[in-house]
Every structure is written in structure tokens, then in C-alpha cells.
Amino acid sequence: MTASFGAVVIGTPDPPAHAAFYAALLGWETVASDPGWARLRAPEAERPGLSFQREAADVPPTWPWREGGVALQAHLDVLVDDLEAEQARAVALGARVEEHQPTPGVRVLRDPHGHVFCLFLPGA
């Protein structure tokens, strides 16, 4: 059997709204959506995709981590060619910029549901 990467699934209290943010950020299309599940894909490829599963008790992670916080287990890295412009666009879509920024060429943000994601330049 050959295995291949199919998707990343993110837990969220509101899959359709969470998917709408990433669809706008990435220019991807929603291919499935209901109150419990939503799935995105790039216009030119069926897989890999990005899916959102309803988890009513989801608690966003602590960034940067500190004792007693919720550990960050995964985050999305989004490659961009203009960090400042894409940060401004993400903020206009509802993201917020984190105070702690670990390195040049990378920008840590939170999506509207509080999940951490990074915008990064090639080579960063």
C-alpha cells in the first residue's frame, strides 16, 4: 500500500466560520460544509486539504507557552511573498498579530478562533 498525505484537521467550535477565514486567506474553495464539518482544497488539487471538525470545548493554545497554559500541538505555516501586505490582509480578514515574534521573516498570528498560524517568507 502507498500512503500519502491527505489533510490537516483543526478542531473548532464553528467549522464553517473557521473554514471561511482560511478559504479567504489561502484562496481555497470550500468543498464540504455543515455545522459539524468543513473541508477546503486548493482550486488546482483535490488533496491535500484543510478540514475543520466541530469541537465545542476547543481551547486555543497559549503562545508563547507558559506554565499552566494550553500547549501548542500544531500550527499552519503559510508561505507568502510580501510579509507586510499579507499580514495586513490576514488582519483585515479577522486575524490578530501576536506580540511575541520569534524570528525575522516569520509573523505569528491568531486566526479569528484563536488558533496560531504563521506567515513566512521563502528562506525564513
For the chain, which residues make up each domain, given as ranges?
1-55, 71-124
| pLDDT of residue 62 exceeding 80 | yes
Does domain 71-124 sit in CATH 3.10.180.10? Answer: yes
1: pLDDT confidence band, cut at 50, 70 and 90? low
1-55 and 71-124: identical CATH topology: no
Cβ–Cβ under 8 Å, residues 50 and 28: yes
- Kindly report the pTM of this predicted structure: 0.92
For 66-112, how does the pLDDT look when each residue is reduced to its tens digit (9 = 90+)? Answer: 899 999 889 999 999 999 999 999 999 999 999 999 999 999 999 99
CA distances from 61 to 18, 21, 101 (A): 16, 18, 16
Does domain 1-55 sit in CATH 2.130.10.10? Answer: no
| pLDDT of residue 5 exceeding 70 | yes
pLDDT above 90: percentage of residues in the chain? 87
